[in-house]
Amino acid sequence: MSTLAPTERHDLGAHGRSLILDARNIAVDFKVEGGIVQAVRDVSFQLHKGETIALVGESGSGKSVTARTVMRLLTKRATIAPKAQITLDGEDLLKKSANAMRSLRGNKIAMIFQEPMSSLNPVYTIGAQICEVLHLHNRMSRKAAMERARELLEEVQIPDPEARLRQYPHQMSGGQRQRVMIAMALANRPEILIADEPTTALDVTVQAQILNLIKELRAKYGMAVILITHDLTIVRQFSDYVYVMQSGEVKEHNTTEALFQSPQHPYTRHLLASEPKGRARPIELGGQPVLEGRDVRVAFTLKRGGAFRPDFFELVAVDNLSIKLQRHETLGIVGESGSGKTTFGQALIRLISNNGGQIYFDGEPIHDKDRHAMRPLRQRMQIVFQDPFASLNPRMSIRQIIEEGLIVNHIGKNERDRVERVRQALRDAGLPDTILMRFPHEFSGGQRQRIAIARAIAMEPEFILLDEPTSALDLSVQAQIIDLLRNLQEQKGLSYLFISHDLKVVRALCHRVIVMQNGKIVEQGTVDEVLSHPQTEYAARLIRAAFEIAA
């Protein structure tokens, strides 16, 4: 146990509020095929009434397992070390019977989870699910429970709560579902709320709303909140005390200001340094745009209304938008989910077809070319996808994956030449060139994304469409990829179209930015202009939410 992370927190005796939860020496082992995994090695923390503590770490740090240990929600394959102790109101939670724990869950301690899309049972109405937790811990009539459920929905600011009670989860958006989760968790006025990455899967404006909602309710009811996250901005804005975790241990803990001002542990420093930083290198603009779109329109016909009353309607994903990308420029397209940014990007490189408008690549019209006619141009425009796991064929070796483009476009004189190009592409992407015979599953997310980038640059394109390439990666890995992209652009004179929902990354990488909402361009300009002086209300809200998590 390093001296930077003693078992007791620095302000233990000196805290203004009363101690409610005291966790000491938590260690959890999991039995898996092939052995035992130590998910949590030694974690201790203390929680006072009315405050928010944060457990911060990247994937694999053990923060989620720790949270579930408090609720004793672990699977049968998990063993908690005997010396672990979690004291709530003078009683050790780990020694309680199963029945006793059940009466605490949803009652005194409540938890909300990361994936709002799958956290609610799809076959029961919202009202039924909220009433379930009410009936479980209180004696209430059905009518009283429904009334209370309605009140709870009002409290979490869901519009039209009466109607929502009878709706099903799939009829609500992600943000609304998370509000319902919060309502369910708070139904019995718990003393402790554990929030496991509650906003990671949500849009940035919704994220701000949800986090502020939790903050308000916490203040109103005097709850204590354990916030689990990997996002440092959230930690900074919403927590009072921070525990930094890595590989199942707490590396450092301190009050929020103290930690951010003077981080002691190298890992903490590394984390803090991983926030996207830097700016795009200045370029001179001019000349023919590499990619241009005029009045591009993409519309889909969707079905709404279910099996018995099908209702077809047209969804306009991209509503007559125009765009110009200059050489050597990085243009960012920013928007929340449903804004149409991915559709726009893929339509511009003709991976999906557009229903109107013109698209020009290096002056040449491509909007009416079919797939066959597009093939000679493919070499010059490439794409990197968001999901590093789905973008590499698990059955192909690294060499085959990268070589495919070379073979198909007849690049390289012979096989040796091609292999050399593959090696060069790997080196450019920061990977050793000895991994040709390996398979994708041997690599982590960040490494796979590098392989995807290598695949793109092996073709020596002029332009790359980057579709949220860093969204699925850990923070520190994200920073590396951003650096890599910047360097590659400088070295090879690439132009990037960078689609993202993360304004921090956009600020670090892009020259200009376009803000989209509901298929329309809401604002555009250079990064500095838009981020410091947004002209529209929506852009302003987006920026506030992204950088300060203010709603």
Which of these, 481, 440, 437, 431, lies nearest to 458 by C-alpha position? 431
Q: In whole angstroms, how close is the CB of 74 to other proteins at the nearest point?
A: 6
Going along 210-308, which residue ranges are E strands? 224-229, 241-246, 249-255, 291-304
What kind and span of H or E run contains 112? strand 109-112
Q: In whole angstroms, how close is the CB of 199 to other proteins at the nearest point?
A: 12
- CB closer to other proteins out of 338 and 525: 338
Two tokens at 32? 């898996």
Q: In whole angstroms, how close is the CB of 529 to other proteins at the nearest point?
A: 32
Which of these, 516, 541, 527, 498, lies nearest to 320 by C-alpha position? 516
- CB closer to other proteins out of 114 and 343: 114
CA 359 vs. chain centroid, Å, equals 31
Between CA 35 and CA 182 the distance in angstroms is 37
Q: In whole angstroms, how close is the CB of 200 to other proteins at the nearest point?
A: 7
CA 36 vs. chain centroid, Å, equals 29
CA 228 vs. chain centroid, Å, equals 13
- CB closer to other proteins out of 111 and 223: 111
- CB closer to other proteins out of 110 and 539: 110
Q: In whole angstroms, how close is the CB of 141 to other proteins at the nearest point?
A: 19
Q: In whole angstroms, how close is the CB of 526 to other proteins at the nearest point?
A: 29
State the amino acid at position 74 in one-letter form. L
**DSSP state, residue 93:** G
Q: Are 470 and 452 in contact (CB under 8 A)?
A: no
Dihedral sign of CA atoms 67, 71, 73, 78 in order: positive
Q: Is 345 exposed, middle or buried (0-12, 13-18, 19+ CB in 10 A)?
A: buried
- CB closer to other proteins out of 409 and 424: 409
- CB closer to other proteins out of 143 and 410: 410
With tokens 């579902």, the residue in question is 177
- CB closer to other proteins out of 70 and 549: 70
Q: Are 289 and 325 in contact (CB under 8 A)?
A: yes
Q: In whole angstroms, how close is the CB of 212 to other proteins at the nearest point?
A: 22
**DSSP state, residue 105:** B
- CB closer to other proteins out of 212 and 379: 379
- CB closer to other proteins out of 306 and 363: 306
- CB closer to other proteins out of 37 and 285: 37
Q: In whole angstroms, how close is the CB of 435 to other proteins at the nearest point?
A: 7
- CB closer to other proteins out of 156 and 543: 156
Which of these, 26, 29, 41, lies nearest to 93 by C-alpha position? 26
State the amino acid at position 38 in one-letter form. Q
Q: In whole angstroms, how close is the CB of 5 to other proteins at the nearest point?
A: 16
Kindly give, in sequence order, each residue whose CB lies less than 8 Å from that of residue 189, ignoring residues fewer than 6 positions away: 221
Cβ neighbours, 10 Å, residue 31 = 13
What Å distances lie between residue 81 and 40, 70, 88, 89, CA to CA?
Answer: 10, 13, 18, 21
Q: In whole angstroms, how close is the CB of 115 to other proteins at the nearest point?
A: 5
- CB closer to other proteins out of 56 and 280: 56
Q: In whole angstroms, how close is the CB of 330 to other proteins at the nearest point?
A: 19
Q: Is 531 exposed, middle or buried (0-12, 13-18, 19+ CB in 10 A)?
A: buried
State the amino acid at position 30 in one-letter form. F
Cβ neighbours, 10 Å, residue 393 = 12
Q: In whole angstroms, how close is the CB of 512 to other proteins at the nearest point?
A: 24
Between CA 441 and CA 438 the distance in angstroms is 9
- Residue 115 sits at φ, ψ, to 5 deg, of -95, 95
- CB closer to other proteins out of 194 and 521: 194
Q: In whole angstroms, how close is the CB of 79 to other proteins at the nearest point?
A: 11
Between CA 501 and CA 513 the distance in angstroms is 12
